[in-house]
Structure 1
Amino acid sequence: MVLLGFIWAIWSGLQVTFLALRGQVNPATSIFFVPDSDGWVYYPAVMDDPSMDLRPSLTRRNIRFFLWTRQNAHVARELFVDESRLLQLSTYSPARYTKILFHGFTNDVVSEFVIQTRNAYLSVGDYNVIGVDWSELARAPFYNSAATNTRDVGKAAAALVDFLVNEGTPISYIHLLGFSLGAHAAGWAGASVKVGTLPRITAFDPAYPGFDGPNARRRLAKSDAKFVDVIHTNARVGLSNAVGIETPLGHADFYPNGGSRMPGCIGFSFQTNKCSHVRSRQYFVESIVQPYAFAAVPCSSYKEFMKGSCGNCGTNSTTKCVYMGEYLTTSASGLYFLRTRSFRPYSLD
């Protein structure tokens, strides 16, 4: 798979060069490499001029919704907004908790992020798990267009949420989860819902490129839901070429191992980045099946945490620790730090 990643990166890089020679991409345009949601293949990402209209025409088929429950754990049923009869004929139940998943750049609803998260949830309970497929709007190499598309994706998902609530689902049963660019799409969804305020959005290493400087306004924000929790694992610190955001974005922000480079992620910088980036979602998947994994300490910085200045999560400790992941208490607030193993199971607990 690593060899495949190198071959694809070289081929895609040649495609970008060809576009530049044809005048379709400014040769001076910033080009960087980002991993797909699975972390196996690296794609050249072009920070194209925002004035260039490179986005596919937005249609109903560009953004699709696929449902899994224990009754159809491996064969998805497609859902359609405002199609009440089709919803009733599906395996969806408004009495179940609903998890809505947003993939990242270059991926779709059969990515590892969606499939592994779905499998974990259905192994512990009978949930409605819905994958938002926006693969047509997240294609390489035009990353900036994909970043811009997160707004349309979020608004489409908000329409789905409004529909589900109007069909009898309590809004308190709905939880959005997004990886990388998908984290910002989830934020747009939360901000666009009309029937109320979502109870929770969970973000896995929200993407940094395209969401810095003047574009910071289109980032995920704590105002997008009643509770927003964020796991940072490849945060861009200083001049590093990491792909995640270091800045706290939620009510509770977690920085495992400092939040930038994860143990066990070795190799060249791009290999380390891709490995660290996907750890955010891998930690969360583990937390679904291990409720008391990933005890985290509230602290002002990783440096102070490592010095022991903020206490620990031992049996007799008075430190107000929380568990990062699915079963996080919504009373959590501020910055949290913890350490993990370099291999599965990642939790030290």
Structure 2
Amino acid sequence: MFLVLEVITGLDPAEPMFQSMLNLLVDLTKLMHKFVDVIHTDARSLFLRRIPGYGMSQACGHLDFYPNNGKEMPGCSLSQERNCALMGYHAQMPYSYSQYNSSENDVIPSESSTDCSVQGYYILTTGKDPHYCQRHYRFIIELAKPVMAEKWGKDF
């Protein structure tokens, strides 16, 4: 008999011996619980790295968050990894990582008109200075609507 939880949040599920394995007795998986959200902050490769990562990169929840692509946390050196202050941050769901990296990453269309969470991958970036937020700005410049431009143009 398995315990089915309503909501479970995973922080850096382990990669060694678990990634790409389906073991319902030990895995954090969306097959076992009603809602699983996972935050991947240590998904660097375990091999061929000076500082290895031990968290898995494989998506395993209903919502998977990858701050800074899940690999490098700016401002958190190896000695600071245990003491980094955390705070809430808005993430968006791109259609692809290349779209997220493009200059249009501030305008990502929604698949739903509701306020409910959409399942999938979420990507966000953080800065190297405390509180690690980066500012995102969106400017919309509306010169004039064509009808108004004609009205104003008659005065010249």
TM-score normalised by the chain length of structure 1? 0.32
AA aligned to 1:202 is T
Matched residue, 2:102: 307
What is the correspondence of 1:173-252 to structure 2 with a 5 Å cutoff?
A: 192-193=2-3, 197-212=4-19, 215-217=21-23, 218-237=26-45, 239=47, 240=49, 241-252=52-63
AA aligned to 1:306 is N
What is the SS of the residue equivalent to 1:253?
strand
AA aligned to 1:265 is C
What is the SS of the residue equivalent to 2:58?
coil
Q: What displacement does 1:336 show?
A: 0.8
Contact 1:227/1:330, CA 8 A, preserved across alignment: no
**Per-residue displacement from partner, 1:180-217 (whole Å, max 9, x unpaired)?**
xxxxxxxxxxx832xxx42211111111123135x542
Q: Find the aligned partners of 1:254 and 1:296 in 2 and give their Cα distance.
A: 8
Matched residue, 2:70: 259
Q: Find the aligned partners of 2:16 and 2:116 in 1 and give their Cα distance.
A: 29
AA aligned to 1:244 is G
What is the SS of the residue equivalent to 1:336?
strand
Matched residue, 1:320: 110
Are residue 347 (structure 1) and residue 133 (structure 2) matched? yes
**Per-residue displacement from partner, 1:304-349 (whole Å, max 9, x unpaired)?**
311245x32xxxx56339xxxxxxx762311111111223323336
* Larger RCO (CA under 8 A, 6+ residues apart): 2
> Going by fraction, where is strand more abundant, 1 or 2?
1
TM-score normalised by the chain length of structure 2? 0.64
Q: Find the aligned partners of 1:208 and 1:263 in 2 and give their Cα distance.
A: 22
AA aligned to 1:319 is P
Q: Find the aligned partners of 2:76 and 2:90 in 1 and give their Cα distance.
A: 21
Q: Which runs of no fewer than 5 residues in structure 1 stay unpaired?
A: 1-190, 288-293, 322-328
> Going by fraction, where is helix more abundant, 1 or 2?
1
> In structure 1, which of residues 298, 301, 306 is the aligned counterpart of residue 93 of structure 2?
298
Could you say if the C-alpha distance between residues 261 and 318 of structure 1 is closer, same or farther in structure 2, counting changes exceeding 3 Å?
closer
Which stretches of structure 1, 4 residues or longer, exceed 4 Å deviation after superposition? Answer: none
Quote the RMSD (CA, aligned, Å).
3.1
AA aligned to 2:110 is K
- How many pairs are equivalent? 127
Which structure's CA Rg is the greater one?
2
**Per-residue displacement from partner, 1:243-271 (whole Å, max 9, x unpaired)?**
110000101111111111111134xxxx2
